[in-house]
Amino acid sequence: MVPEPRPAATVVLLRDRAGHVEAFMMHRALTMAFAPGMHVFPGGRLEPADHDAGAALPDPGGRFARDAPRASTDEAQYRALVACALRELHEESGVALPLTDLHLADHWITPEVEGRRFDARFFVAPMPREQDAVLTGTEAQSVVWVRPSHALEEHAAGRMPLLRPTSRVLEYLAQFADAAAVLAAVQERQIVPMLPRRIVSDDGTVMWAMINGRTGELIEGDIEPPRFWEMTGAR
């Protein structure tokens, strides 16, 4: 039986340094059950308390009703996901964000063949000037600010393990010269729930494809399957 993916939220903190945009990333501890040894953005699964916290969030501009369809959910669930994003970021980095700084950027669903599955929305936000992002919990062993292009180069060289959603988000970020450009672009970006799926044909041939996790529509065919190290952290 395929496990249902659990709703989750992730925040990509951005800052500008030496003419480049940088992202805040965490190197997860090898003892973690999910994504051990991976380099990730702060985030985690939705908790029951996030629903009450989300319902209490102010919304003078009607952004929740506007962005919920982009996140493939309803307004109540989207509010809870935003509250989850704000909470997880603060718990894992010590950073407290104004609600207006948080912007939906991407949506990924864990493949059906994996035992631990998440339905994760990715948000981006500027790093507040008066705060510092630090390692505050036990889920990660270190943190780093890194240019997206450099992270991808390190990943290709085998020195910075990344999950597919993380590498895809970094590829998107690498297109931009500064954080302001990212924040402007994501507000107009079409967000599709990306789900890597294993497809077995009638003759037994196995192919992996990227599909729309809500409609089943094919987005990309013949993609690379998930690797063993994506789930274990072992190379």
Separation of alpha carbons 145 and 141, rounded Å: 14
Q: The pTM is what? A: 0.93
pLDDT at 36: 77
The proportion of the chain whose per-residue pLDDT surpasses 70, expressed as a percent, equals 96
- Structural domain boundaries of the chain? 6-192
Mean pLDDT computed over every residue of the chain: 92
> Is residue 230 scored above 70 in pLDDT?
no
Separation of alpha carbons 233 and 75, rounded Å: 35
CA distances from 195 to 30, 34, 191 (A): 25, 18, 13
Query: Could you read off the pLDDT of 168-213 as tens digits, one per residue?
Result: 999 999 999 999 999 999 999 999 999 999 988 888 888 899 999 9
Superfamily of domain 6-192: Nucleoside Triphosphate Pyrophosphohydrolase (3.90.79.10)
Query: Could you read off the pLDDT of 44-91 as tens digits, one per residue?
Result: 999 999 999 999 999 988 999 999 999 999 999 999 999 999 999 999
